[in-house]
A = this chain, B = another copy of it.
Amino acid sequence: MPHLGPLRRRAWAALLGQLLRPPSTVCTRGCHSQVAKAVLTSEQLKSHQEKPNFVIKVPKGTRDLSPQQMVVREKILDKIISCFKRHGAKGLDTPAFELKEMLTEKYEDNFGLMYDLKDQGGELLSLRYDLTVPFARYLAMNKLKKMKRYQVGKVWRRESPAIAQGRYREFCQCDFDIAGEFDPMIPDAECLRIMCEILSGLQLGDFLIKVNDRRVVDGIFAVCGVPESKLRTICSSMDKLDKMSWEGVRHEMVAKKGLAPEVADRIGDFVQYHGGISLVEDLFKDPRLSQSQLALQGLGDLKLLFEYLRLFGIADKISLDLSLARGLDYYTGVIYEAVLLESPAQAGKETLSVGSVAAGGRYDNLVAQFDPKGHHVPCVGLSIGVERIFYLVEQKMKMSGEKVRTTETQVFVATPQKNFLQERLKIIAELWDAGIKAEMLYKNNPKLLTQLHYCEKADIPLMVIIGEQERNEGVIKLRSVASREEVTINRESLVAEIQKRLSES
């Protein structure tokens, strides 16, 4: 048995041991060939003996996407990418991992959540944490001063996964960013417009985009008396307001981060404000905020932004929300986050809570951090949280009982008789040559009923049937699977007839 070479001594011992067991445990079904059967048996033993507690699974916080899920995923991505292209964005791809030093100092408190690669002798690498930092690295590396790009790809974060809400450690992001020196707030307004277009297009129900400005946040902190050294860490506490009550956040600020209670209370007073352009006007007159030049600059830009949002026809979807902080360290100006107001499932049994489904902001200093000469390329952008949207769409489909086709096969090549493999192979090759999506069963002599069932299960619309009589008469049968209607046509007009039918449907 020369094929059993790779088996180690233990496996041979196992094989020997197996021969003493009842045969029923050895092979549960027929095998493709004698040899396969022999090798299979020993492989089976190998897994039995060497991995008694072997559990097959994917890494924590990750998942496979089944064909059904892939179809839904692709529909969502198509809509998102179409919108990015509608706004003139170019595609970009960057490696899954970056030099570790490229990612350090970009994510403040979240640095420990990075997946590092093992030091295997060479560079120190980490999996990317988002698509924004690699984009900034790309701009600096290629000395690009402006670019409107989109990127779709996986990112990895070692957070506690909350899979029920669509939070994974490996997840897909869809990013759109505008880099370059432009007149204030025009690209920022376009980013918000894109978020609206995508969320409307995906029909996830009513949504709201919360807007704030990092300078307003920092200005509030300053006038409330947050010490400069605590600005970023207090900001990252405030970012938890979407998952935590103000009481919880206040406790973290005071007990964990050593903020004076009265300072926290002053912040608490501000974070309750939200509203439209009139709130911006009111805040301009706030005697406390007027002490901060930063806050006034932020408010000035927000006022302009709301003017552009009105012209873009989306002002009603946007709300200034002083509690919005955004956790990432690199934002410098406007920040935003989209939340669903009423999930599409609320009419049904379950209540779905998925947090924000899209977010972004302005980051004017990130590119300079990569450039050896510190050249400055202001950027603004957004990221769509596909996983959460996917979760909602999937739930919605489950509740409506909507069926998903996982293949696109148009024609099935069948026979009611034995010994028609040759004809089926020739016919299907002819269909493939014509670009027609076609399948057949990989059996020499399949039963007609099995073939019909396959078509019905896979929702294949057309069936080509070849048998003795058809072959002798130079004809072929074409069957509509849904209506069960059959017509007999000339063998040579098969492709043309199928193409005609497909173009009509």
Q: Within the assembled complex, what's the spacing in Å between the Cα atoms of A422 and B365?
A: 29
Nearest-Cβ distance from residue A383 to partner chain B, whole angstroms: 19
Return chain B residues, CB-CB under 8 Å to A181: 29-32
A40 touches B170 (CB 8 A): no
A206 is an interface residue with CB less than 8 A from chain B = no
Inter-subunit contact A92/B118 (CB<8 Å): no
Confirm or deny: A438 has a beta carbon within 8 angstroms of a beta carbon on chain B.
Answer: yes
Within 8 A of B (CB), among A1-41: 2-6, 27-36, 39-40
Query: A118 touches which one: B40, B70, B116, B221 (CB < 8 A)?
Result: B116
With beta carbons under 8 angstroms apart, the residue of B32, B156, B170 that contacts A364 is: B32
- Chain B residues, CB < 8 A from A39: 332, 364-365
Q: How far is the CB of A87 from chain B (nearest CB, A)?
A: 7
- Which residue of chain B is the closest to A71 with respect to CB atoms? B91
A219: B residues at CB distance < 8 A: 2
The A387-427 residues at the B interface (CB cut-off 8 A) are 406-409, 421-422, 425-426
| A218 CA / B5 CA spacing, docked (Å) | 10
User: Contact mask A257-271 → B, CB, 8 Å, 1/0?
Assistant: 000000000000000
A184 touches which of B4, B32, B86, B292 (Cβ 8 Å): B32
Interface residue stretch chosen among A59-67, A272-280, A465-473, A492-500: A59-67
Q: Which residues 50-77 of A sit at the B interface, judged by CB distance below 8 A?
A: 51, 54-60, 62-67, 69-71, 73-74
Say how far A174's CB is from chain B's closest CB, in angstroms: 14
Name A402-458 residues within 8 Å CB distance of B. 406-409, 421-422, 425-426, 429, 432-433, 435-439, 442-444, 458
CA distance A444 to B186 in the complex (A): 9
0/1 string, A323-335, CB within 8 A of B gives 1: 0000001001100
Tell whether, in the assembled complex, residue B117 and residue A435 are in contact, meaning their CB atoms are under 8 Å apart.
no
Contact A97 B6 (CB under 8 A): no
Tell whether, in the assembled complex, residue A437 and residue B43 are in contact, meaning their CB atoms are under 8 Å apart: no
A74-B91, A92-B70, A184-B32 known; A64-B437 Cβ under 8 A: no
Given contacts A32-B364, A170-B96, contact A137 B442 (CB under 8 A): no
Q: Are A45 and B409 in contact (CB under 8 A)?
A: no
A:306-362 near B, CB below 8 Å = 308, 311-313, 329, 332-333
Q: Is A243 interfacial (CB-CB < 8 Å)?
A: no
Decide: B97 and A62 in contact? CB cutoff 8 A: yes
Partner of A91, one of B5, B67, B375: B67
Secondary structure class of chain A's binding surface, majority of residues: mixed
Which of B71, B122, B125, B294 is the one whose CB lies under 8 Å from A3? B294
Looking across the interface, which residue of chain B has its beta carbon closest to that of A108? B6
Known contacts A32-B364, A59-B99; is A4 also within 8 Å of B228 by CB?
A: yes
The residue in chain B whose Cβ has the minimal distance to the Cβ of A5 is B231
Which chain B residue has the least Cβ–Cβ distance from A298? B35
B90 pairs with A70, CB closer than 8 A: yes
A425 to B230 Cα, complex, angstroms: 40
Given contacts A44-B368, A222-B2, A378-B32, A186 and B442 within 8 Å (CB-CB): yes
* Minimum C-beta distance from A43 to chain B (A): 5
Which of chain A's residues 141-181 have a Cβ closer than 8 Å to chain B? 141, 149, 154, 156, 158, 170, 178, 180-181
Q: How far does the Cβ of A456 sit from chain B's closest Cβ, in whole Å? A: 15
Q: Are B28 and A375 in contact (CB under 8 A)?
A: yes
Which 4 A-B residue pairs are closest in the complex by CB-CB distance?
A: A44-B374, A67-B90, A182-B442, A70-B91
The 27 listed contacts between A and B (C-beta, < 8 Å) are A3-B218, A5-B230, A6-B108, A29-B376, A30-B181, A31-B364, A36-B378, A40-B365, A40-B376, A43-B368, A54-B101, A56-B372, A59-B95, A64-B95, A65-B93, A66-B92, A69-B93, A85-B407, A87-B438, A90-B407, A96-B96, A118-B118, A118-B119, A120-B158, A180-B442, A183-B444, A313-B429
